[in-house]
């Protein structure tokens, strides 16, 4: 058994974990850093997996957050294909699957999430795919033969982006969503209807309000059985029904978990020497009434900055504005703020034709925006949301009035 002493142990070599190592070195941290990652790849960006990388418009090399030399030159040890199997936070120790016991000063849990799996009969047939990792996309691409019929299960961001990318490559796509609208968990019916119409216009067979009861096939998938009894023919199925946070390590160690590893505004778990950030962290967010998890690059990057600040002795509470984007066809959806508990929506433009935006208000105050090909609205709204502005509604509804010129009513 090898024993290693490290100043900082980062568990998970995804976007959040990588940004802690990058940020520490940028701030002049000279201590030792070990980042351990289960996947075989160096830290890379996931967003292009369902977009540019899938359609072949971006090479694998461009996915990596930093080149291999970067980590060597900055003296950041990255151990890939290695799992942190146990955390003993009271002893400041962790055990890796390669047999190493690491004694750390600070530990950062950045273990992200894993895909939620289908549980119906046939779910484990060959040809049923999920999309979270680089290996997943390569497997989907490898399975896509000419003329293949793809069924996408789940009308969230990942499912919709997958459908758009597959259409772009000319495949036949059916999209199945159990709820009565796409993107139901993240946006308003206005945006849902717009995206549903866009997908139909691009030739996707969109099926709403219907569950999947079985995946049909012998060795390989041949179809997807719906709750109505209908079987949709399929050569390949891609499932995008959300993720589960990888909390087991923290939970078994005795750290508080509740649909995520529970952290405070400095991203500290119930042990102040152990942080949790990114998709796995359930954190207090000033834009939401309750603690929550956010699954976004913004959150991963900004929480990494928070941890860097604490380790460097300059703590700054996490209070960044949530923002997100999604690329489908020639549409860029940009979201800022959290559309939770809004009581009014104002559309800038025509909600059937991009560009347009939907602004979400609560008690007259702007709390969020969904901007479709409307970058100026998105940029302008960010400042208004942060400042808690209650704008003049007639001016807000007029797309000719720049967002940034809107002040209190
Ligand atoms: C297809 C796709 C498209 C997306 N598009 C967007 C987008 O357009 N915009 C946006 O903002 N966000 C997007 N996201 C979400 C975004 O990629 C995530 O929010 C972000 O990657 C979270 O980073 P993370 O480091 O917290 O977690 P992850 O990226 O999940 O990284 C965690 C890593 O930790 C590893 N790990 C887990 N447990 C252990 C362990 N015990 N030991 C060692 N390693 C471990 C995992 O294998 C994984 O590699 C997308 C995600 C996907 C999958």
Other residues' Cβ atoms within 10 Å of the Cβ of residue 113: 19
Q: Tell the residue nearest (CA) to atom 31 of ligand 1.
A: 14
Tell me, using a 6 A CB cutoff, whether residue 136 lines ligand 1: no
Tell me, using a 6 A CB cutoff, whether residue 187 lines ligand 1: no
**204 Cα to the center of ligand 1, angstroms:** 27
Q: Tell the residue nearest (CA) to atom 49 of ligand 1.
A: 14
Q: Tell the residue nearest (CA) to atom 41 of ligand 1.
A: 84
Q: Tell the residue nearest (CA) to atom 12 of ligand 1.
A: 296
Domain ranges of the chain: 3-114+244-311, 117-241, 330-405
Q: Tell the residue nearest (CA) to atom 3 of ligand 1.
A: 47
Could you please state the CATH topology (level 3) that the domain comprising 3-114+244-311 is classified under. Answer: FAD/NAD(P)-binding domain (3.50.50)
For 330-405, CATH number out of 3.40.630.10, 3.40.50.300, 3.30.390.30, 3.30.413.10 equals: 3.30.390.30
Residue 396 · residue 379 · CB < 8 Å: no
Q: Tell the residue nearest (CA) to atom 53 of ligand 1.
A: 132
The pLDDT of residue 409: 63
The pLDDT of residue 404: 85
User: Greatest CA separation found in the chain?
Assistant: 69
DSSP class of residue 210 equals: -
Cis before residue 355, ω within 30 degrees of 0? yes
CA distances from 118 to 9, 72, 113, 124, 159 (A): 34, 40, 16, 9, 14
Distance CA 255, CA 249 (A): 9
Strand partners, 151: 174, 237
User: CB neighbours of 213 closer than 8 A, spacing ≥ 6?
Assistant: 120, 121, 225, 226, 227
Distance CA 355, CA 370 (A): 11
| Closest ligand 1 atom number to CA of residue 323 | 11
**279 Cα to the center of ligand 1, angstroms:** 7
Tell me, using a 6 A CB cutoff, whether residue 245 lines ligand 1: no
| Closest ligand 1 atom number to CA of residue 50 | 1
Verdict on whether the full-model pTM lies above 0.85: yes
CATH superfamily of the 117-241 domain: FAD/NAD(P)-binding domain (3.50.50.60)
Residue 132 · residue 36 · CB < 8 Å: no
Residue 300 · residue 19 · CB < 8 Å: yes
pLDDT tens per residue across all 409 residues of the chain: 788 999 999 999 999 999 999 999 999 999 999 999 999 999 999 999 999 999 999 999 999 999 999 999 999 999 999 999 999 999 999 999 999 999 999 999 999 999 999 999 999 999 999 999 999 999 999 999 999 999 999 999 999 999 999 999 999 999 999 999 999 999 999 999 999 999 999 999 999 999 999 999 999 999 999 999 999 999 999 999 999 999 999 999 999 999 999 999 999 999 999 999 999 999 999 999 899 999 999 999 999 999 999 999 999 999 999 999 999 999 999 999 999 999 999 999 999 999 999 999 999 999 999 999 999 999 999 999 999 999 999 999 999 999 988 976 6
| Closest ligand 1 atom number to CA of residue 298 | 11
Tell me, using a 6 A CB cutoff, whether residue 165 lines ligand 1: no
Tell me, using a 6 A CB cutoff, whether residue 256 lines ligand 1: no
CA distances from 239 to 123, 131, 198, 219, 227 (A): 10, 7, 20, 18, 17
Tell me, using a 6 A CB cutoff, whether residue 246 lines ligand 1: yes
Examine domains 3-114+244-311 and 330-405 and report if their fold is the same.
Answer: no
**341 Cα to the center of ligand 1, angstroms:** 27
**394 Cα to the center of ligand 1, angstroms:** 41
Tell me, using a 6 A CB cutoff, whether residue 49 lines ligand 1: yes
Tell me, using a 6 A CB cutoff, whether residue 37 lines ligand 1: yes
Tell me, using a 6 A CB cutoff, whether residue 84 lines ligand 1: yes
């Amino acid at each position: 058994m090898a024993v290693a002493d490290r100043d900082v142990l980062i568990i998970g070599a995804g976007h959040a974990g990588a940004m802690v190592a990058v940020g520490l070195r940028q701030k002049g941290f000279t201590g030792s850093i070990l980042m351990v990652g289960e996947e075989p790849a160096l830290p890379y960006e996931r967003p292009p997996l369902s977009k540019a990388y899938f359609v072949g418009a971006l090479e694998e090399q461009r996915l990596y957050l930093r080149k291999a030399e970067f980590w060597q030159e900055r003296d950041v040890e990255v151990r890939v294909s290695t799992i942190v199997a146990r955390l003993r936070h009271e002893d400041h120790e962790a055990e890796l699957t390669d047999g190493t016991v690491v004694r750390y000063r600070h530990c950062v849990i950045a273990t992200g999430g894993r895909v939620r799996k289908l549980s119906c009969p046939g779910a484990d047939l060959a040809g049923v795919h999920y999309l979270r990792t680089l290996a997943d996309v390569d497997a989907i691409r490898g399975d896509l033969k000419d003329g293949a019929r793809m069924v996408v299960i789940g009308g969230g961001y990942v499912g919709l982006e997958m459908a758009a990318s597959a259409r772009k490559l000319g495949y036949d796509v059916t999209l199945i969503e159990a709820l009565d609208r796409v993107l139901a968990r993240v946006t308003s019916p206005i945006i849902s209807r717009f995206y549903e119409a866009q997908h139909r216009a691009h030739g996707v067979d969109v099926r709403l309000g219907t569950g999947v009861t079985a995946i049909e096939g012998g060795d390989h998938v041949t179809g997807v059985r719906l709750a109505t009894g209908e079987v949709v023919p399929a050569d390949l199925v891609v499932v995008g029904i959300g993720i589960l946070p990888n909390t087991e390590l923290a939970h078994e160690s005795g750290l508080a978990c509740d649909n995520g590893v529970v952290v405070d505004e400095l991203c500290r778990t119930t042990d102040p020497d152990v942080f949790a950030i990114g998709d796995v962290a359930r954190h207090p967010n000033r834009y939401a009434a309750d603690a929550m998890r956010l699954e976004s690059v913004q959150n991963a990057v900004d929480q990494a900055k928070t941890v860097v600040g604490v380790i460097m002795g300059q703590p700054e509470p996490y209070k960044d504005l949530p923002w997100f984007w999604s690329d489908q066809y020639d549409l860029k959806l940009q979201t800022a703020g959290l559309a939770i508990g809004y009581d009014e929506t104002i559309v800038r433009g025509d909600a059937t034709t991009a560009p347009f935006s939907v602004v979400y208000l609560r008690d007259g105050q702007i709390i969020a925006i969904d901007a479709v090909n409307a970058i100026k609205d998105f940029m302008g709204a960010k400042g208004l949301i942060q400042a808690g502005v209650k704008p003049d509604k007639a001016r807000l509804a007029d797309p000719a009035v720049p967002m940034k010129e809107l002040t209190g009513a």
